[in-house]
Structure 1
Amino acid sequence: MVFLSVVLVERFFMKKSYNLLVYIVVVGIIMSCSTKKDSVINRNFHSLTTKYNVLFNGEQAFEKGLKDIENNYTDNFWKRLPIEPIKFDEKSAVVIKFSSPGAGFDDKGEKTAPATPFDRAEEKAAKAIQKHSMNINGYEKNRQIDDAYLLLGKSRYYTQRFIPAIEAFNYIIANYPKASLIYDTKVWRAKSNIRLENEKLAIESLKLLIELDRNEKNLTPLQRQQAYTAMAMAYEKTDTIQKVIDNLAISTSFLKNHQSARNAFVLGQIYSELNRKDSARMVFRKLANERWVPEKYRIHASIEMVKNIEAKDSSNVLLVDRIRKLIRNTDNRKYLNELYYQAGVLQEDRGNTEKAIEYYLKSLEVPSTDVYQKTYTYERLGNIYFEKQEYLLAGTFYDSVLSVTTEEFETEKRIRRIKRKNKGLTKLRSYEETVKNNDSILKLVAMTAEERTAFFESYIEKIKEEDEKKRQRLLNAQDFGSQFGGASSFGGSNNQGKWYFYNTQSVGFGKVAFRKTWGSRQLEDNWRWSDKNEIVQETATEEVTKTETTDSRYEVASYLKKIPSDPLVIDTMKKERNEALYQLGLIYKEQFKNSKLAIDNFEKLYTINQNPALILPINYHLYQLYTEIGESEKAEEKKGIILEKYSDSKFAEIIRKPDSKITEEVKVDEIDKKYRLVYSLYKFNQFEDVVDQVDKLSDAERNSELIAKFVLLRALAIGKYKSKEEYKKELEFVALTYGNRIEGKKAAEIIKLLK
């Protein structure tokens, strides 16, 4: 009994001790949660909770945001790279002032859902500040809070809220002057000011930081790199290019990391822009040969070396070998389009145009999302064929440039120039097609019935031969494929699933094999009966025969009935062709300065022309062209025709009074004033004075770009007080002389209205 009593007493005291211990632990935890009590337990509790709980999650979210930027940002190596690889939309920058640096909740105190990883990082940083800050008597006792404020500011920076970001950075600098991250904070504040276009303020603060480091050597190599990089960004905004060069050069000397490689690449691009080719090549050669440099900078450094080489430089050959090695390296497949393009540029610089074309076409064949690079490739091909005077093919490539150009690059000077150049080529193609089509039809119209029949019979035979060759190639491919069970890929089909019916080629080969064995059978019961095969085979044969006999491509009659017989239609086609020939002659003469092609078109038109109104201008243009190329005998022949048969014409008057050598230079603005004066006379109905003023134009004024305007104005004035015939005659002179200009087209429109 006594023993039992002792045991019960022991248990009672043990239970009481346990409860007391639990009570002490709970009270200790509650007391350590307080942010108002400055004790070792409280400080360590909040510091550990901040670092390994809230702040850890925020930093993880921030790192994810940086990774997303890295994955989604694409550098355009055709332009100078931004020093910081991020693109901010200046129009959408948020500059709202927050009530406190730690604000991260809405007005009602409710959390807002984070839209991006940076929003989540900001939320966690704000939570760490609000719940774990131990600001006691003006001193922060939680050593992790400055990290939270820095994370808060950086998160706001990446969400384009630069003023709230600066508030967070300023709070650290004001309240934690001895914080371990104080130098990082000052750099980030400077970057935020740069984004807000406060470059001078950023430069001043960074200069103080750099000067302090020179004296005390407190900055780490990474912090030094970040400071000089930010300084280069600030000077770039102020267009102080030499300062940008100096700071970029210094920033590359501290560490071998991604930013250092990028800074060096931008430095090389700046040297190239300043035409300091030797310095640019030196920078890019170093980048291309360093193993630590990220792949994209190494490859593009080799490409930039090509851009900065002189055409006749002896190192050109070495660069050709370097580019070829890079092309052969299978690790560089994603850069093949650019490498092929640069190989083409090198070959073109060496005068090997055909090899250059081959490389350019290979560049276009490489699947790539780099649309901007394609515009350069198409432009190069267009320029080559333009120089070869193959204008139609050149126009096709210029069309391709414009078709792949995105809205982002449409306003570029280069693209605008191509648009202007292609405008004339578009008209050229239209006129060339009109001449080609109408000529072909008119040749058929001129044939006899027997000649037409013979022509189309020969044409049909060629079609049949081509169709038979295509059918045979298809059968051979199908037979070859069936030997491998339809597993091989022919024709480059992309629809190649693992299951049989997901692979279109396997299904196609299966159908061929089925027809070889069973023939064409309908989907019905008992399809395997042998008599069914015979019936279906006969039906199929009849259908094939019927198809062959009814195919309009194989019938002479189907072609013959399309030849026009209406004299009015034929006459219209002749007029369209002749007008197209005349316009082609003008385009080649005035826009492309190609005398040979201009003469070919005018001479062809001269031999087939039936419009008396065109004889005079054709002879005049040929007179000018033959004079230009030194064919004096032919020029004299055309001159004689104009002076003998059209002695009263304007063209004859111009020939009789050739433009004398201009001894005095008349400024464009003076001629423009003269035109305005004549135009004001026209507006005030002084039409005879208008004609008199235009007739008295000096040689310099007649040779100016405004002469077409003067002549049109004169014609319009004559129409106000003279007969319709005289008015029409003057308009015809303007339309024929300046047919390829706005004034000539306007005169042609008025003539149509008069008719």
Structure 2
Amino acid sequence: MCVKYTKKIVFIAVAFALLYSCSTKKDTVIRRNWHSLNTKFNVLFNGKESFKKGVEAINEKYKDDWFQQLPIEPIKFIEDKIIISNSGMGAGFGDSNNEIKKATTPFGIAEEKAVKAIQKHGMNINGIERNNQIDDAYLLLGKARYYEQRFIPAIEAFNYIIASYPFASLINETKIWRAKANIRIDNEELAIESLKLLIEIKKGQEENLPEEIKEQAHTALAMAYVKTDSIQKVKEHLIKATRTLNNKDQGARNLFILGQLYSAENKKDSAVLVFNKLVNFKKAPYKYKIHANIEIAKNTTNDSSRVALLDRMYSLIENRDNKKYLDELYYQVGVLHEANDSTHLAMNAYNKSLKYNGGTKQKTFTYEKLGNLYFKNSKYLVANSYYDSVLQVSTDTLNLRIRRIKRKYKNLALLIKYENLVIKNDSILKIASLSKTDQEAFFQKYIDNLKKKDEEAAQLKLNQQAFGNSFGGNSLQSKSKGKWYFYNSQSLSFGKTEFIKIWGNRKLVDDWRWSSKINTTNSKDSTQVNQKSTRYDLASYIKTIPTDKKEIDTLKLDRNQALYELGLIYKEQFKDTTLAIQRLERVESLNPKKELILPINWHLYQIYKSKNNTSKASIYKNVILTKYSKTKFAQIIQNPNAIIKEEVEVNEIEKTYKEIYYLYKGNKFEETVSKTDEILPKIQNSKLIAKFELLKAYAIGKYKDKDAYKTALEYVAVNYGNTEEGKRAKAVIKQLSK
């Protein structure tokens, strides 16, 4: 009985001892150590683990754009989302009377644990905190709020540490985090001032700072100077931050950004030195090292160095670990070959880059490179298809590079339209000129090739449906792997349906592909196949060949007009005189309508004159002087020393145009023409000259006859065909010709 009472007394004593030691009101060694241990190894441990998971998740989710300068801190915050504390207290715990919601995010849980540590284990006795882990709890609280984009509450937590624990071991780290939070809310000047005070060299202060703190401080200063666009200061602090490289992730990132800054300033040698340092940094994450190799290739200008770099690129390509970087590596190989004028090798490398599933942005650069190469070689149709691919792939429609490509694509659209028209009409006219027997032979060969392709495509589709997924596993694959296709009822049913859709309901006989083998019992299938069989009907193709002379003449006229327009586009818009000559000389040889003869000769004269080919230029010059001696074109040839120097400023030209335009609106048409004739010799190099010429033509049309009006419009249409004024003149001429 005595033993029983003794046990009770001991149990009660132990309970009271535990309760006594848990109290945060009395400052004793037992209480301090108990609360400190519980804070460090229980509450804070769990909070820091959750915080670490949150940071790891951000790093995994964040995708760097290697075509742009990387941000120093790899985290993307939502703009204008700054949450202000409503607590009124430095720590910012909120109103304890309100219902507290359970945290679900890693940073929310970390903050929750930090608050719990402060509230349950804080031993603030007579204004002095006796638990040496509470400053860690406040730092965790501020950092968690920082990553949740609650910068002002984070600053409150950091300020509380600095004010309450001025001699804590983590005070320097806290000051750096407070500076970063200030940078995020555009208080970069305050951040710079506080960080300079931290690392200021005064009585050997900086030498006493741990290397890790110095790295963090200089990195934060670089962040602040990025916001102020002080690039030299950014470089200065990145250089200091990368002296020791204790933090392998941030150190590698700082080196990469430093190299990018040198590259942007065209200091290629300095950039290469920095990127080489990164390549040789053994602890650096691999993504930085592989992109540093690519940047070295980008920044090398020495021809002899490119050979060694190509060897390096190919060795990286052969490394299996670099599979996910192959699109970027092959692209850079293409750039190196292009720099060496090895166009064929460059195209080959760019096409290989496209084969690998890399980033969308990389594809846009590769498509653009291929488009530019074809454009340079005057293969505009092919170039346009690559520019179209850029626009199809890209999602960043506001990007200046994409907008420039879009403009280039639109400029090529009219050229493509006319080139396709010429190809189409040439083909039709060629077939129309054949004998009946030759026409039938031509289309029969076409039908035979079409059948072969259709059969191959259908067989390939059936093979893919039947066997293609036996290795990958989709909805058609049997759950029992390795079994034959025909044992899978779902795959069999799907394949049968697709076969009937393509070929109709065929009997199981030899030569099942022939239309005579169709099972006509199924009227729906029969209709489908009959519609399909018209693709193989020779008579249906023969019917499409034009036989009417008027229709054939229209095809010729349209083709000739397209060739003329192409000549103008190549001459004026693309400055491609070779193709301009080809198109214009061809249309000249095709007996064009008389309205085109003068402009064709005029443009060919101008082209050959610019190429200093006097013999050729004389041929077209003589045509104009003999057959069109009274035209303005002949006058220009006869008076080559006319004043063409622009003698008035652009704003004065605009003012003059307005004055003349008001004369036209006031029905003073003759005065409009005379005033225009006065100004035209002085503004030959002005962009507004087409406006004056069109206005003059309109005025002539108001008081002279139809022929004079038409002649004036033709001059505008010929000389300024690609301008808005030229297009309007063409439209009016078309109306007058009806």
- Tell me the TM-score normalised to structure 1 length: 0.86
Letter aligned with residue 273 of structure 1: A
Is 1:443 matched up with 2:430? yes
Partner of 1:745: 727
CA contact (8 A) 1:268 1:283 kept: yes
Is the partner of 2:683 in helix, strand or coil?
helix
CA contact (8 A) 2:327 2:356 kept: yes
Question: Shift in Å at residue 713 of structure 1?
Answer: 2.2
- Match among 25, 31, 51 for residue 40 of structure 2: 51
Question: Shift in Å at residue 345 of structure 1?
Answer: 1.2
Structure 2 residue ranges without an equivalent (≥5): 493-498, 501-505, 520-528
Alignment of 1:62-101 (within 5 A): 62-95=51-84, 98-101=87-90
Partner of 1:351: 341
Letter aligned with residue 298 of structure 2: K
CA contact (8 A) 2:114 2:137 kept: yes
Q: Mean Cα displacement is larger for which, 437-446 or 162-171?
A: 437-446
Rounded to whole Å, the distance in 2 between the matches of 1:419 and 1:178 is 60
Is 1:412 matched up with 2:399? yes
Change (3 A) 1:235 1:664: same
- Match among 378, 387, 390 for residue 376 of structure 2: 387
CA contact (8 A) 2:111 2:141 kept: yes
CA contact (8 A) 1:701 1:707 kept: yes
CA contact (8 A) 2:82 2:152 kept: no
Is the partner of 2:200 in helix, strand or coil?
helix
Is the partner of 1:389 in helix, strand or coil?
coil
Question: Shift in Å at residue 441 of structure 1?
Answer: 1.6
Is the partner of 2:698 in helix, strand or coil?
helix
- Match among 180, 203, 212 for residue 169 of structure 2: 180
Cα deviation, 1:503-548, whole Å, max 9, x if unaligned, reads 899528999xx9xxxxxx99xxxxxxxxxxx985489588664599
Is 1:422 matched up with 2:404? no
- Match among 228, 232, 237 for residue 238 of structure 1: 228
Change (3 A) 1:541 1:412: closer
Partner of 1:158: 147
Question: Shift in Å at residue 380 of structure 1?
Answer: 1.4
- Match among 229, 254, 257 for residue 266 of structure 1: 257
Cα deviation, 1:611-646, whole Å, max 9, x if unaligned, reads 322222222112212222233233222222223332
CA RMSD, Structure 1 to Structure 2 (Å): 3.5
Change (3 A) 1:698 1:555: closer
Question: Shift in Å at residue 178 of structure 1?
Answer: 1.2
Rounded to whole Å, the distance in 2 between the matches of 1:347 and 1:353 is 7
Is 1:127 matched up with 2:109? no
- Match among 306, 331, 334 for residue 316 of structure 1: 306
Is the partner of 1:92 in helix, strand or coil?
coil
CA contact (8 A) 1:495 1:504 kept: no
Is 1:591 matched up with 2:573? yes
Partner of 1:528: none
- State how many pairs are aligned: 714
Is the partner of 1:81 in helix, strand or coil?
coil
Cα deviation, 1:196-238, whole Å, max 9, x if unaligned, reads 2222211111111112684274432211110111111112222
- Match among 595, 601, 611 for residue 613 of structure 1: 595
Change (3 A) 1:493 1:667: farther
Question: Shift in Å at residue 576 of structure 1?
Answer: 3.1
Alignment of 1:682-721 (within 5 A): 682=664, 686-697=668-679, 699-721=681-703
- Match among 136, 159, 180 for residue 170 of structure 1: 159
Cα deviation, 1:341-386, whole Å, max 9, x if unaligned, reads 1111111112211111111111110122x11111221111111111
Is 1:37 matched up with 2:22? no
Alignment of 1:500-649 (within 5 A): 500=478, 507=485, 537=509, 545=517, 551-565=533-547, 569-649=551-631
Change (3 A) 1:637 1:498: closer
Rounded to whole Å, the distance in 2 between the matches of 1:232 and 1:277 is 21
Is the partner of 1:80 in helix, strand or coil?
coil
Question: Shift in Å at residue 466 of structure 1?
Answer: 6.2
Letter aligned with residue 629 of structure 1: K
Q: Mean Cα displacement is larger for which, 639-648 or 144-153?
A: 639-648
Rounded to whole Å, the distance in 2 between the matches of 1:503 and 1:568 is 66
Change (3 A) 1:162 1:718: farther
- Match among 443, 457, 464 for residue 444 of structure 2: 457
Question: Shift in Å at residue 566 of structure 1?
Answer: 5.4
Cα deviation, 1:681-710, whole Å, max 9, x if unaligned, reads 445554443322221125441222221121
Change (3 A) 1:595 1:22: same
Rounded to whole Å, the distance in 2 between the matches of 1:598 and 1:708 is 22
Cα deviation, 1:401-439, whole Å, max 9, x if unaligned, reads 2222222xx333332322222222222111111111122
Letter aligned with residue 284 of structure 1: F
Rounded to whole Å, the distance in 2 between the matches of 1:597 and 1:722 is 39
Is 1:144 matched up with 2:144? no
Structure 1 residue ranges without an equivalent (≥5): 1-10, 515-520, 523-533
Q: Mean Cα displacement is larger for which, 205-214 or 137-146?
A: 205-214
Q: Mean Cα displacement is larger for which, 239-248 or 28-37?
A: 28-37
CA contact (8 A) 2:123 2:130 kept: yes
Question: Shift in Å at residue 279 of structure 1?
Answer: 1.2
Rounded to whole Å, the distance in 2 between the matches of 1:51 and 1:471 is 68
Q: Mean Cα displacement is larger for which, 652-661 or 593-602?
A: 652-661
- Match among 624, 635, 638 for residue 653 of structure 1: 635
- Match among 178, 186, 191 for residue 180 of structure 2: 191
Question: Shift in Å at residue 90 of structure 1?
Answer: 2.2
Rounded to whole Å, the distance in 2 between the matches of 1:147 and 1:658 is 87
CA contact (8 A) 1:106 1:112 kept: no
Q: Mean Cα displacement is larger for which, 633-642 or 57-66?
A: 633-642
Partner of 2:526: none
Letter aligned with residue 100 of structure 1: M
Partner of 1:7: none
Rounded to whole Å, the distance in 2 between the matches of 1:675 and 1:115 is 70
Is 1:16 matched up with 2:16? no
Question: Shift in Å at residue 246 of structure 1?
Answer: 1.6
Rounded to whole Å, the distance in 1 between the matches of 2:475 and 2:319 is 30
Change (3 A) 1:223 1:535: closer
CA contact (8 A) 1:34 1:42 kept: yes
Change (3 A) 1:106 1:735: farther
CA contact (8 A) 1:54 1:125 kept: yes
CA contact (8 A) 2:443 2:541 kept: yes
Q: Mean Cα displacement is larger for which, 82-91 or 675-684?
A: 675-684
Partner of 2:268: 277
Cα deviation, 1:91-146, whole Å, max 9, x if unaligned, reads 33334554223334568521234353212222222232233322222212222221
Rounded to whole Å, the distance in 1 between the matches of 2:102 and 2:17 is 35
Q: Mean Cα displacement is larger for which, 39-48 or 716-725?
A: 716-725
Partner of 1:302: 293
CA contact (8 A) 1:134 1:140 kept: yes
Rounded to whole Å, the distance in 2 between the matches of 1:440 and 1:537 is 40
Rounded to whole Å, the distance in 2 between the matches of 1:225 and 1:745 is 64
Partner of 1:5: none
Partner of 2:107: 118
Is 1:215 matched up with 2:205? yes
Rounded to whole Å, the distance in 2 between the matches of 1:508 and 1:555 is 35
CA contact (8 A) 2:91 2:160 kept: no
Partner of 1:251: 241
Rounded to whole Å, the distance in 2 between the matches of 1:432 and 1:65 is 58
